[in-house]
Amino acid sequence: MNVTIKSPEEQDKMRTAGRLASNVLDMIGEHLQPGVSTDQLDQICHQYITEVQRAIPAPLNYRGFPKSICTSVNHVVCHGIPSDRILKNGDAINIDITVIKDGFHGDTSRMFFVGKPSVQAQRVADIAYEGMWLGIEQIAPGKRLGDIGYAVQQHVEKNRFSVVREYCGHGIGRTFHEDPQVLHYGRRGTGFELQEGMTLTVEPMVNVGKRHVKLLPDGWTVVTKDHKLSAQWEHTVLVTADGYEVLTLGAEQR
């Protein structure tokens, strides 16, 4: 396994990239209105990243992905491709942003609602958010990846939702996806041991129904097999000497 340990200088660059990624999500929130298309959201984010931040949208042309952000609406689990789909009142959408600045990646996603969400949409988003944070709180040198997965899984399943297993978090740095893989299920005390200077993402995908998913013919869009709602949140996290530092906090969380 090729896990990279970031130097103090590299950690600073990761902080910058993480802050820029979260700034995009802070910016786009006001544009989430009935009648806007996911492609319009993509265009707004692309312009902001490239012209305001002078950064690079990492998803664009990554392994053939055609857009600058991912927009996953309702029962889309992840990797939704922006299109002419018009958002309507009550839609739940995950917007996933990754920017490259000075050669380093910042990766984060957030749930948004168009108008007033259903009780179920709000509930699954809340549980996914709580699960993400419970996983992050396990991060410290000497802890193991299984500790993160266990914390997420226990919370999600206790609340009668399910954790997607085919897609997971990952190491990140100069490369978009590095070792190790960060599963959102698992057993305590198992898996790779965390070390100071590692940077990784915690990004649980949580389904209202069963955990099973399906990849659409476009080769990217992942949906729930039972077409029930899904929710996801994501942060990039640095393992510090005594715990963790979240690099992608939004303006309201800083």
pLDDT over 90 at 125, yes or no: yes
Domain containing 124 equals 8-246
Instruction: Look at residue 222 and tell me if it is in a domain.
Output: yes
Yes or no: say if 206 and 127 are a contact pair by the CB < 8 Å rule: yes
Instruction: Look at residue 161 and tell me if it is in a domain.
Output: yes
pLDDT over 90 at 251, yes or no: no
Q: What is the pTM assigned to this prediction?
A: 0.96
pLDDT in tens, 51-94: 999 999 999 999 999 999 999 999 999 999 999 999 999 999 99
Phi and psi at residue 27, to the nearest 5°: -70, -40
Instruction: Look at residue 3 and tell me if it is in a domain.
Output: no
Hey, what's the torsion of the CAs at 77, 79, 80, 82, to 10 degrees?
Answer: 150
Query: Which CATH number does the domain housing residue 109 bear?
Result: 3.90.230.10
Q: Which residue has the tokens 């978090």?
A: 169
pLDDT over 90 at 253, yes or no: no
Instruction: Look at residue 220 and tell me if it is in a domain.
Output: yes
For the segment 102-118, the average pLDDT, to the nearest whole number, is: 97
Closest CA to 234 of 202, 206, 210: 202
Instruction: Look at residue 252 and tell me if it is in a domain.
Output: no
Instruction: Look at residue 1 and tell me if it is in a domain.
Output: no
**Alpha-carbon distances, residue 25 vs 41, 82, 180, 191 (angstroms):** 11, 15, 26, 32
pLDDT at 81: 98
Q: In 137-218, where does DSSP find H-type helix?
A: 145-158
Instruction: Look at residue 254 and tell me if it is in a domain.
Output: no
Closest CA to 229 of 100, 89, 123, 108: 123
DSSP helix/strand/coil, 125? helix
pLDDT over 70 at 254, yes or no: no
Instruction: Look at residue 81 and tell me if it is in a domain.
Output: yes
Number of domains within the chain: 1
pLDDT over 90 at 11, yes or no: yes
For the segment 127-136, the average pLDDT, to the nearest whole number, is: 98
pLDDT at 72: 98
